[in-house]
Amino acid sequence: MSQHPQAPCVGIIANPVSARDIRRVIANASNLQTADRVNIVLRMLTVFASLGVPRVLMMPDKGGVRAMLLRHLRRESNLHNKFPVLEFLDFDPASTVDDTLRAAREMRAAGVKAIIVLGGDGTHRAVVRECGDIPIAGLSTGTNNAFPEMRESTITAMAVALYATGKLSAAQALAPNKLLEVSINDGERSDIAIVDAVISTERFVGARALWKAESLAAVYLSFADPQAIGLSSIGGLLHPVGRQDHGGLAVQLTEHPTQRQLTLSAPIAPGMMRDIGIAHWEPMRAGRAFDVPVSAGVVALDGEREMAFDRADHVTVTLRKNAFFTVDVARCLQTAAQLGLLRHPSPQPKKET
């Protein structure tokens, strides 16, 4: 680890296998290749060097990102290009979500100013579980990407650098976010979702990604964007709820024609439109526990099956506000422009004597 722990430091967690689940296969969606992920990180490192971030911590991986990135950095350094000091966390990756969880914990302990996350909703959720009060900035590289915004990595890195180096304060740079807390038997088991907690009548966790519309029973949403891809699009196209709006949305689904109020066409995966039967929907007030109206099944958190339950279990979903912070990229760049933070006086020519 670095011998200069007080220097502004940014963390990067790049999921090497995001956007490679079954939803991508059945929907004919493209995959982000390792070289693309490396190029994203290289662009960010160049920005950090330009804006005064001297040190970056990164999650190790066995998916080829670290090896390819180090080759590129050696080549670029030989061309006299400048980069921050890049350090990889010292652990042997397992190529599971445990890598992301551990990296977020260690980056928090190391005192990074912010964590940039490359991945989909599931990767971002894993970071939020462990990052505590460290703000995150998301870059969309996953299959379902309701939470991370589609944005060029150069711009995201600029915003993070302005905050990490103290040019922008927390009040100027950060935005609070809601999440969903899922509890089984009053906390006997619990977990979180940052976008959606979906209840399925399927009884097994194994296949992970949830994409069969006929098994869906309910969707609970911290926010609902009509431009989103994934199960959250059901709420977004039914009753939009903004990220900064109060409350969330609870939607009850049904396959029975007599119980439907309406049928909604929604993009539940890239290139995959499905007709969803809507039985009922209502706002979710922060702090109110919603009882799950299914006797047995699984809870999918941000698109992946995580928690199985049966008839003996009592399952609730509760919206929590101000649960974690993100770097508000648009506001950061707007404020930087207004304050002239990226302006530099031109050198004046010397006067002849």
Structural domain contains residue 341: no
Structural domain contains residue 335: no
For the chain, how many structural domains are there in total? 2
Q: Give the pLDDT of residue 346.
A: 83
C-alpha closest to that of 277 among 218, 336, 229, 227: 218
One domain, residues 307 and 264: yes
Decide: 161 and 9 in contact? Cβ < 8 Å: no
One domain, residues 219 and 294: yes
Q: Give the integer Cα–Cα distance in Å for 340 and 86.
A: 29
Average pLDDT over residues 117-140: 96
Structural domain contains residue 120: yes
Q: Give the integer Cα–Cα distance in Å for 311 and 295.
A: 5
pLDDT band at residue 78 under the 50/70/90 scheme: low
Two tokens, residue 77? 């350094």
pLDDT tops 80 at residue 19:
no
Could you give the percent of the chain with pLDDT greater than 70? Answer: 90
One domain, residues 152 and 263: no
**φ, ψ dihedrals at 102, nearest 5°:** -65, -40
Picking from 122, 145, 167, the residue at the C-terminal end of a domain is 167
Structural domain contains residue 199: yes
Average pLDDT over residues 253-278: 94
Cβ burial, residue 133 (10 Å; 0-12/13-18/19+): exposed
CA–chain centroid gap for 27, Å, is: 22
One domain, residues 218 and 291: yes
**φ, ψ dihedrals at 96, nearest 5°:** -130, 180
CATH of the domain at 313: 2.60.200
pLDDT band at residue 25 under the 50/70/90 scheme: very low
Two tokens, residue 293? 């109206």
- Residue type for position 254: T
Measured from the Cβ of residue 318, the count of other Cβ atoms closer than 10 Å reads: 20
One domain, residues 269 and 303: yes
Two tokens, residue 243? 């990220």
Weakest-pLDDT range from 65-74, 127-136, 278-287: 65-74
Structural domain contains residue 316: yes
One domain, residues 203 and 163: no
- Residue type for position 177: N
Mean pLDDT, all residues of the chain: 90
Structural domain contains residue 62: yes
pLDDT band at residue 75 under the 50/70/90 scheme: confident
Structural domain contains residue 353: no
CATH of the domain at 81: 3.40.50
Measured from the Cβ of residue 264, the count of other Cβ atoms closer than 10 Å reads: 18
pLDDT tops 60 at residue 28:
no
Residues 6 or more apart whose CB falls under 8 angstroms from that of 196 comprise 146, 180, 219, 220, 221, 222, 230, 231, 232, 235, 300, 301, 302, 303
One domain, residues 130 and 230: no
- Positive or negative, the CA dihedral 194, 166, 329, 124 is negative
Structural domain contains residue 43: yes
Q: Cα angle at 142 between 137 and 147, to 5 degrees?
A: 45
pLDDT digits (tens, 9 = 90+) for 197-229: 999 998 776 655 666 788 899 999 999 999 998
Residue 134 structural domain: 9-167
Q: Give the integer Cα–Cα distance in Å for 199 and 216.
A: 6
Two tokens, residue 341? 């933070």
Average pLDDT over residues 256-282: 94
Q: Give the pLDDT of residue 2.
A: 41
One domain, residues 158 and 199: no
One domain, residues 150 and 183: no
Q: Give the integer Cα–Cα distance in Å for 290 and 274.
A: 26
Q: Give the integer Cα–Cα distance in Å for 48 and 132.
A: 23
One domain, residues 132 and 210: no
pLDDT band at residue 154 under the 50/70/90 scheme: very high
What HEC string does the chain produce? CCCCCCCCEEEEEECCCCCCCHHHHHCCCCCCCHHHHHHHHHHHHHHHHHHCCCEEEECCCCCCHHHHHHHHHHHHHHCCCCCCEEEECCCCCCCCHHHHHHHHHHHHHHCCCEEEEEECHHHHHHHHHHHCCCCEEEEECCCCCCCCCCCCHHHHHHHHHHHHCCCCCHHHHEEEEEEEEEEECCCCEEEEECCEEEEECCCCCCCCECCCHHHEEEEEECCECCCCCCCCHHHHHHCCECCCCCCEEEEEECCCHHHCCEEEEEEEECCEEEEEEEEEEEEECCCCEEECCCCCEEEEECCEEEEEECCCCCEEEEEEEEEEEEECHHHHHHHHHHHCCCCCCCCCCCCCC
